[in-house]
Amino acid sequence: MAQVPGGAHERMLSVAVAALNEREPERLWPLLASALPGLCGGETLIYKLDDWNEAQGTVGMPSEVAVEFDGLGEEDLGLLRAGFPFADHYAGGPDRTPLTARAAAGAAWSASPTARLIGDVMDADHVLAVPLPQTTTPITGCMIYRSGTDFTEDHVRVARQLQPLLAAVEQQRQLLERLKRTPAPESAGETAVDCPLTPREMTVLLLLTDALTAAAIGRRLGISDRTVHKHIEKIYRKLGTRDRVSTVLRAQQLGLIPTP
């Protein structure tokens, strides 16, 4: 088992707590981008929340790196979107283990246009791909960059340890996006402000609407069944309900979740 760098467990926990308390979905991956490279032996990263292909999609990165990419043409942006050599590698099967570019492509990596691009723009020599676990189509995740020597086996193992955290943050982002798309209640009566839920309680509430069991919610969020039941009890108390169906209906009435 890799020894996570000193203080990294505390930093990982800090990132997880910050993510669970963040209400703006667009801030979640930038939060990860500031913490993740240092945990895996890297210097910076880019993330792609849509498929790793060169034709379309957006690439996210820390603001200090984004300045370097402002002048790139469409061809170079396509190289970033494609994520050579990882898109082809992960598309070939279900394995989502973090992998370095050199391990995936061998000597072809150093001679590739992508290696040239990141060398010119980011002064980096090596890339470590960290796909989100269990993703199929599209394949999403992030790529971490460093200069000098390649990532070590310990760096790759640490990246593997971090994959569940990345998946949880991405699930949180998607849930928050769903929440933002929820229209405000039209009634002039009681509103969501009258029964405020914590970010974690909102996450559990949204998963309740998907008819997931407490055990399934616990697996999705990485918490115990008992903790899930405690969150559900608090939701019931705040919404003044006693069961799942009435809770979902009440949350829809208040505009907390979308009405089908």
pLDDT tens sequence across 212-237: 888 889 888 888 999 999 999 999 98
How high is the pLDDT of residue 173? 84
Q: Does residue 141 lie within any of the structural domains?
A: yes
Confirm whether 51 is domain-assigned: yes
Do both 56 and 87 map to the same domain? yes
Q: 223 and 108 share a domain?
A: no
Q: Tell if the pTM clears 0.85, that is, is over it.
A: no
Residues shown for the chain: 260
In this structure, what CATH number is given to the domain that contains residue 161?
3.30.450.80
Tell me what pLDDT residue 182 has.
59
125, 240: one domain: no
Whether 163 and 201 map to the same domain: the answer is no
Encoded amino acid at 100, one letter: T
Q: For residue 2, tell me if it sits in a domain.
A: no
Strands 44-48 and 126-131: unpaired
pLDDT of residue 1: 35
Same domain, residue pair 67 and 109:
yes
Show the domain range for 195.
Answer: 187-254
Print burial letters for 93-115: b (CB count within 10 Å at least 16), e (below 16). eeebebbbbbbbbeeebeebebb
Q: Which residue numbers in the chain have pLDDT < 50?
A: 1-5, 187-188
pLDDT at 60 (0 to 100) = 84
89-120: pLDDT as tens digits = 888 888 999 999 999 999 999 999 999 999 99
Domain with residue 214: its CATH number is: 1.10.10.10
Q: Is residue 259 part of a domain?
A: no
Nearest to 63 by CA among 89, 41, 84, 45: 45
Q: How many domains does the chain have?
A: 2
